[in-house]
Amino acid sequence: MPTLEEEIRRLMAEGTAELRAAPDLTERVVWSAGAKRRRRVRVAVVAAMAAACVAAVPAVLSFSIGTAPMAGTFATTPEPPAIDDTPPEPSDPPSLGDLGDGREFGRVKVGYLPGGLEWSGRSVDLGDTYLVSYVHPGDEKGSYQVEIMVHEGAAVHEAEGRIAAHRDEADGEEVTVGGRSGYLVVQHVGEDGMKGSPTLFLRTADGQLAEIVFSPVYAAEYDGTEAVDAELLRIGQGLTSTM
């Protein structure tokens, strides 16, 4: 009949690969003491083996020592999966698709554009608000000279709120364009050192409001404020709703 040391040595050798306990664990523990301390060492061996099991991956062992069967289940709680708390990168907003020459988009038609401008090929569709931009041929990608933004539904109230704020500051003026109410104002003055963006807000239909914007760079191509305003009004005159 195998001795306690032999039985433990066998079990440790069989479980070494899975439990990652050193194969010579028994020798290093059992033979480190003299024969007179053999009984006490046997207890230490069992304890050491149990500790090795707990520290290793979850395992279920069934073994017998001598004629007395012993069964033990050793399990460790698995670590929870890592949580990726990195916010997703925002995706580009959907575009309005291929607009051809850019003179018709969403629910509006553009009847007049200043000479030398063309659709930039860029558009943004945010649902209640959508826009297109126009540039000089060969302009740097992402720039704009004229931008037409259309607000519908709930977005109209946000635009009206900005108009009201300008009105309260006596900034800008009321205008009428083709029998439709509008508001001329220069927005964003002083932001990032800019001279501001000349803008015409125009009520194009019930539940629809257009915002026609000149970039500060493009406005500088005109001979003064009156010339800029006159061109904004021409664009507004030719802008019609298809709602």
What's the pLDDT tens digit per position in 199-225? 999 999 999 999 999 999 999 999 999
- The pTM (predicted TM-score) of the whole model is 0.63
- pLDDT of the residue at 71: 46
Gap between the Cα atoms of 68 and 207, Å rounded: 88
**Cα separation of 19 and 49, whole Å?**
10
* Range 167-191 average pLDDT: 95
**Of residues 175 and 35, more confidently modeled:** 175
Position 49 pLDDT exceeds 70: no
Which among 94, 124, 129, 131 has a CA at the least distance from the CA of 110? Answer: 131
pLDDT digits (tens, 9 = 90+) for 11-34: 555 555 444 444 444 444 333 434
* Edge-to-edge strand list for the sheet holding 173-177: 118-125, 129-135, 146-152, 208-214, 197-205, 180-187, 173-177
**pLDDT tens readout for residues 124-155:** 999 999 999 999 999 988 899 999 999 999 99
Residues contacting residue 101 through CB under 8 Å, at least 6 positions apart: 118, 119
Mean pLDDT rounded to a whole number for the chain: 77
In the numeric block, which tokens belong to residue 110?
């553009």
Rounded to an integer, the average pLDDT of 87-107 is 85
At 41 the pLDDT is 38
Per this entry, what is the length of the chain?
A: 243
For the residues 85-106, what does the mean pLDDT come to? 82
Output the pLDDT for position 102: 96
**CATH number of the 104-241 domain:** 3.40.1000
Structural domain boundaries in the chain:
4-74, 104-241
Q: Does residue 220 sit in helix, strand or coil?
A: coil
Q: Is the pLDDT of residue 3 over 70?
A: no
pLDDT of residue 181: 98
Average pLDDT value for residue range 213-240:
97
Residue, of 144 and 44, whose pLDDT is higher: 144
Tell me what percent of the residues of the chain surpass a pLDDT of 70.
63
